[in-house]
Amino acid sequence: MGLAQENVSELKDTIEAANARQAELRAKHDDARSTVASLQAKIKENETTNDTLKREMQEFEQQMRVIASEFNPLNETITDAEERIAEYLYAKALEELIDKQEGFYTVCERLLTKTQEELADTVGDFVEFIDPATAVANMRAAIEDGGIGYNLLPLRAGRDNYDKAIRDLCEAKLNDRPIELSAGMLPVDRIKDWLRTDAVIQYWKK
């Protein structure tokens, strides 16, 4: 038996509805496919861009390595230069401070004058003294003439010991180390003791 008229009509409606839906879905599918194609193109474009960026990044990373290879050693150069400047400034300050102190021969003449004055009260009737300025001048000539002799060793030791005591005090001052009274008096005390040694007395006693 054939389809009833109403069944045919329903089937046509079904076909029409299905066709309409397919058209709708086809349009959406085309839109989706177009979007996928667009996204694929962007991905490809981004891949190309990423490859370019990676190459550029690698180039900059290489530049960074080259820069670091020059930059880091400069730290040592700077440190070395700073240390040398600090050493120079310290040495300069030390010498300037030493230069401000009384020189060995000046202190020697002053203390010898005082020593002779003190001795004159007790032994002045028995011994004669050489003028302090003349005595110190003679000692200075012997110390600095460059001669070689055992008798010169005690003379030069007096000057060297005084200079060392002065230097030690100046270094302590620059390094903010506490200075005891005994240490402060050491340069003068060394000259006082030195003036009374036999090797030196012969220069200031007739």
Both structure tokens of 19: 């066709």
- Count of other CB atoms within 10 angstroms of residue 46: 12
Q: What is the pLDDT of residues 53-104, one digit of tens each?
A: 899 999 989 999 999 899 889 899 999 999 999 999 999 999 999 999 999 9
Q: Helices 152-174 and 5-100: crossing angle, nearest 10°?
A: 140
- Count of other CB atoms within 10 angstroms of residue 91: 10
Q: Percentage of the chain with pLDDT > 70?
A: 97
Tell which residue, 195, 197, 167, has the closest CA to residue 111. 195
pLDDT, block means (10 residues), the chain with 206 residues: 67 85 88 87 86 90 91 90 94 96 96 94 88 96 83 91 95 94 92 95 94
What is the distance between the alpha carbons of residues 133 and 125, in angstroms, rounded to a whole number?
Answer: 22
